[in-house]
Structure 1
Amino acid sequence: MLMSLDHRPSVSAAIRATMLECNPHRKAMAARKVARDWRLGRLAFEFDVTMPDQPGRPDVPELLPPGRMPKRGKAGSERGRIALWHALAHIEFVAIDLALDMAGRFGAEMGEQFVSDFLAVAADEAMHFALLGRHLRALGSHYGAYPAHAGLWTAAHDTRHDVAARLAVVPMVLEARALDVTPATVERVRAQGDESGARILERILDDEIRHVRCGANHFADVAKRLDLVTADLWKSLVSRYFRGTLKPPFNDSARLAAGLSRDLYAGVA
């Protein structure tokens, strides 16, 4: 009988352990380590554990449903500015787990390149969270100082059974929305004299274009494998699994750079 001589830890076990980490700093560091260890061949392409239904979360921030979220404060006020950066940091924190879960939950089905791509996304999101956390501290605050939106993980839970649905909703709707709203946020932050914050957001925007393109490319591969028209499959899955609405205005140039044509999303907006 042939025995495996591969004693490397499985990539799924490393991903699961990172997702279950509650401390934000340690989770971000662990996500970057998983991506690095995978890239360097230290983890085996094995899926011997399942992904958690809920990732680890710190005691703070308090997570609230959308209707109970407090107002950020008057635009331009110190409280309003800090609340904006806190909300952005929370989005990036949850995005770490979204990318990890993508790789760990669907990697066996989708293959090694898929795992590589989404672990790289997780590392980017961890870096974004670290940059935003540092900016919050420079403003005299910290992650956890304000309540945060509880609904960001909902899309992952709703699509946990179907990689096509996950790709359709998370990269191609939720992350694509950031391509629309970030440029105006950059302008507003720069007008407030926060040049370092504006540069952070510009870096995140560049990375998010790449992340959306990664999701769109893998979604197109799934549609091809199913012998379905990419646009038709996407519209069907979005109507079924996305709880919100696609709202213009759209950043057509950034979306096109990310592989999303106007014809794709205009019909469901």
Structure 2
Amino acid sequence: MSDLSQAIRAALLTGDKRGKVKATRALVRAWRRGELESGWSVAMPDRPRWPGGLQVLPPAQMPKRGRGGSERGRIALWHSLAHIEFVAIDLALDMVGRFGAQMDEAFTADFLAVAADEAMHFSLIDRHLATMGASYGDLPVHDGLWQSAEATAHDVFARLAVVPMVLEARGLDVTPAMIARVEAQGDSRGGKILARILDDEIAHVSAGARHFAALCAARGMEPEIYWKKLVRAHFSGTIRPPFNDSARVRCGLSRDAYTALA
């Protein structure tokens, strides 16, 4: 029987988009059934593999999406969302594979569930792209999300502070307006996909905030103060309003903390 770290490493190093989704779903299912040992025998790769031929650019060099209501603009929007969800699979898997050995089983269960959700989100979006005659990999993407993983690879506190509590929390802020926009364009299916993703992201951010708070409590640290310190040190982007305060507070995020960094 292989252990969980081996299965996670194999999924991270699967570049084919359908292969990564399949490997992620399979390892989560196997772990839940007790078919994988909760072992940590191998290290995680510095970078996951992505589809061959995918053009990865620095964020500043990404082309403009085009007008939002145009077909080109719609494809660019959904392609960018596909990339976010594809990288989110790797972020969740790496969270478990890199830090699971020092955390409890609830941490492993929570972030494997996140990985399974992200795989489902990616599949929904890629299928939606197909209805527009497009596919993930057709357009350039940027490396900003994985750069945050690299910047926090040394510390589970930093990873939790930045990935679920900043990056995923940003999704809570922008998705409601995105739902309204795509529905106004007559894309009811797209609106339903985004609504499902928003519901799931609330659980993901909640998991990050919960485990961050538990770690802080175990080490006698004040969560709000330490979170702000970590974000200032390890997140190169900006935290800006408008904020979805109701969703953020529901997830256990402190309004005083995130508005202080805006």
Global fold match (TM > 0.5): yes
Deviations 1:135-172 (A, max 9, x none): 00011111111101122100111111100000000000
Whether the aligned pair in 2 keeps the contact of 1:158 and 1:241 (CA below 8 Å) is: yes
Whether the aligned pair in 1 keeps the contact of 2:224 and 2:254 (CA below 8 Å) is: no
For 1:107, the equivalent position in structure 2 comes to: 100
Which of 39, 45, 56 aligns to 1:52? It is 45
Residues 1:191 and 2:184 are matched in the alignment:
yes
Work out the number of aligned pairs and report it. 262
For 2:223, the equivalent position in structure 1 comes to: 230
Whether the aligned pair in 1 keeps the contact of 2:88 and 2:118 (CA below 8 Å) is: yes
Deviations 1:47-82 (A, max 9, x none): 000000000111232010011101111121000000
For 2:122, the equivalent position in structure 1 comes to: 129
For 1:78, the equivalent position in structure 2 comes to: 71
For 2:206, the equivalent position in structure 1 comes to: 213
CA distance in structure 2 between the partners assigned to 1:130 and 1:143 by the alignment: 10
The amino acid of 1:183's aligned partner reads P
Residues 1:93 and 2:86 are matched in the alignment:
yes
The amino acid of 2:200's aligned partner reads D
For 1:241, the equivalent position in structure 2 comes to: 234
User: Equivalent residues in 2 for 1:53-68 (5 A)?
Assistant: 53-68=46-61
Unaligned runs of 5+ in 2: none
Question: Which has more radius of gyration?
Answer: 1
Displacement over 6 Å in runs of 4+ = none
Between the two proteins, what is the percent identity of the paired residues?
A: 60
Residues 1:15 and 2:8 are matched in the alignment:
yes
For 2:147, the equivalent position in structure 1 comes to: 154
For 1:3, the equivalent position in structure 2 comes to: none
Which of 164, 173, 176 aligns to 1:180? It is 173
For 1:42, the equivalent position in structure 2 comes to: 35
Unaligned runs of 5+ in 1: 1-7
Give 1:225 shift.
1.4
Classify the secondary structure of the residue corresponding to 2:51.
Answer: coil
The amino acid of 1:51's aligned partner reads M
Deviations 1:201-223 (A, max 9, x none): 00000000000000000000111
Whether the aligned pair in 2 keeps the contact of 1:75 and 1:81 (CA below 8 Å) is: yes
The amino acid of 2:107's aligned partner reads F
Classify the secondary structure of the residue corresponding to 1:201.
Answer: helix
For 1:5, the equivalent position in structure 2 comes to: none
Deviations 1:229-262 (A, max 9, x none): 0101101100100001110010001111111131
For 2:26, the equivalent position in structure 1 comes to: 33
Whether the aligned pair in 2 keeps the contact of 1:60 and 1:145 (CA below 8 Å) is: no
Whether the aligned pair in 2 keeps the contact of 1:10 and 1:46 (CA below 8 Å) is: yes
TM-score w.r.t. length of structure 2: 0.99
CA distance in structure 2 between the partners assigned to 1:71 and 1:245 by the alignment: 20
